[in-house]
Chain A
């Protein structure tokens, strides 16, 4: 009977335990929120004054101490573009194979799944080492936006596949059966039924990947390089924004102000991309509901 008394709402002990759990939750939240606000205000305090339209649209001067970050933003976005252009189709196709052509318990699915899980765990710096050895040296791409983007593609591929796969698995089997009953080929089903339905998951996976990719520093130093000129092609070397922040704080005397400002821009960019993702996912969702 002792056990049940502990659960009993009316017993003072239960009330006390209720209160202490509540206090613990509030306490933890206060610590985390406090740390976060401290961090955010520290960044704003140091960097907010520097961020304006000129900062975003001019080139860095004096190794980034003054001037803006336009070429760095351009390089960052180009690297992201390459990463997504390569990873999205590859990831989508693999996810479709996993969810539509293999059984979850089957050996093939298990093997691909395991290798993806391990790949997801491979530290980004190791992917960077690989990218440097494979894309830059072995394939002869040199330090380039292409090499950096391909390296990031390797990094975000597992996240992309797993989220898309789970999205596809949530499509009810009746839909597939009905489509087949209508005489649609598998390719048609894929294009007209499955992909639209899985789009929100694909986009969510992409955004997770982009978030990680954009903040990546270590892997990009060895692959896309250090050149802070406006890139003219995918084979040009281009400095990503996190590499720029690192260089300004660790290698350039007097670069701190612009480093903080660049950090704010990077965070703002992440928020915008997240916002777009949520909106896109919502739109895809409403379209699907109205179609259904």
Chain B
């Protein structure tokens, strides 16, 4: 076979793969839309954009409180996880003795690998009772945020660390030549230089937080309501799907696919926002 035809065939194989890979998103969206179509047709999309209750067996499909809960929980989680994650990276890179740094890094990687179910179990038996002691019922927005923060912290820490490692040597040398203190070098040179990557890491973490399911289902109480305090139980869009999908039929099942569509739209908006502001979701 001539090299030319082999190359052409290779190109077609590659193109076909890329087509499949990028068509997957479309396929997912089409199927979500197809499965949710019956209930959208019957009830109308406006029935979902309400906050007067989620009783699919009684024909009430108010998704808004869950949308709000998903956003609030992810926001809170990143507020906790971002400073801790960045500080963890600084600790590893600049402050910890080599052995401790290695062990700490290993712990962070391991934390990233702890399955959602296991964290949820731990949260339910350890964190929830602690919050309960402050304000009942314990299973709450706060509990969900703390567990989520633990899950996404490694993402922030590892991306930040990778970005810090990539800061060019000349920056450090320049800072040293200027006689900058360690603190000034870190805060005024290193972090600004890596801001874009840290930001990307945070966005990736938020996307993961929005999509997290099992742990949230176990610790956040799952009551469909607009949260008015940190201690209120809430239900996220993901928990809604996991809680009811197993047995839902007919319009109820279709309404869960609508939950999925709304959730995907939220992530899409996030990705689009990230693109517009120049950042890019990277995979750490």
Contacts and interface: CB of A to CB of B under 8 A. Distances in A.
Whether A and B are associated in the same complex: the answer reads: yes
Interface of A: 6-9, 14-15, 17-18, 20-22, 24-29, 31-33, 35-40, 42-43, 89-91, 93-94, 96-98, 101, 111-112, 114-127, 129-130, 132-134, 138, 154, 157-159, 161-163, 185-188, 190, 205, 208, 211, 214-215, 217-218, 221-222, 242, 245-246, 249-250, 259-260, 263, 266-267, 270-271, 274
Interface stretch (B18-26, B50-58, B59-67): B18-26
Contacts of A221: 242, 246
A94 B14 contact: yes
**Overall SS of chain B's interface:** helix
A94 B119 CA distance: 34
Interface string B2-29: 0110110111011111101110111110
Given A122-B267, A123-B211, A130-B32, A25 B87 contact: yes
A245 B31 contact: no
A40 B246 CA distance: 31
Nearest to B90: A25
Q: Do most interface residues of chain A lie in helix, strand or loop, or is the interface mixed? A: helix
A32 B84 contact: yes
* Residue among B14, B31, B108 with most chain A CB within 10 A: B14
Given A266-B115, A267-B114, A123 B7 contact: no
Given A28-B88, A121-B281, A215-B114, 19 more contacts: A6-B184, A7-B178, A7-B179, A7-B188, A14-B181, A17-B183, A17-B184, A93-B17, A121-B270, A122-B25, A122-B267, A123-B238, A125-B260, A126-B28, A185-B7, A187-B6, A211-B113, A249-B121, A259-B121
A271 B28 contact: no
Interface string B231-257: 000000010011001100000000011
A114 B271 CA distance: 9
B133 interface: no
Nearest to A43: B118
Interface in B181-239: 181-184, 186-188, 207, 210-214, 218, 238
Contacts of B186: 21
Contacts of A124: 211, 213
Contacts of A91: 21
A31 B88 CA distance: 10
B113 A267 contact: yes
Interface of B: 3-4, 6-7, 9-11, 13-18, 20-22, 24-28, 31-32, 34-35, 83-84, 87-88, 90-92, 94-96, 104, 107-119, 121-122, 125-126, 150, 153, 178-184, 186-188, 207, 210-214, 218, 238, 241-242, 245-246, 256-257, 260, 263-264, 267-268, 270-271, 275, 280-283
Given A25-B87, A129-B257, A187 B10 contact: yes
A129 B35 contact: yes
Closest 7 CB pairs of A and B: A123-B211, A28-B87, A93-B17, A215-B115, A185-B3, A97-B14, A121-B267
A117 B110 CA distance: 25
B95 A126 contact: no
B25 A267 contact: no
Nearest to B184: A7
A147 to B, nearest CB: 14
B116 A21 contact: no
B179 A8 contact: yes
B91 A29 contact: yes
Given A7-B181, A120-B283, A35 B150 contact: yes
A158 B210 CA distance: 18
Given A129-B256, A217-B115, A245-B117, A98 B18 contact: yes
5 contacts: A21-B183, A114-B271, A119-B24, A157-B21, A215-B116
Nearest to B175: A7
Nearest to B15: A97
A97 to B, nearest CB: 4
A93 B7 contact: no
A270 B35 CA distance: 35
Contacts of A20: 183
A114 B7 contact: no
Contacts of B27: 130, 134
Given A42-B126, A185-B3, A187-B10, A122 B187 contact: no
A162 B283 contact: yes
A270 to B, nearest CB: 4
Given A25-B90, A97-B14, A157-B21, A125 B241 contact: yes
A62 to B, nearest CB: 20
Contacts of B113: 211, 215, 267, 270-271, 274
A133 B38 CA distance: 14
A130 B241 CA distance: 12
B11 A217 contact: no
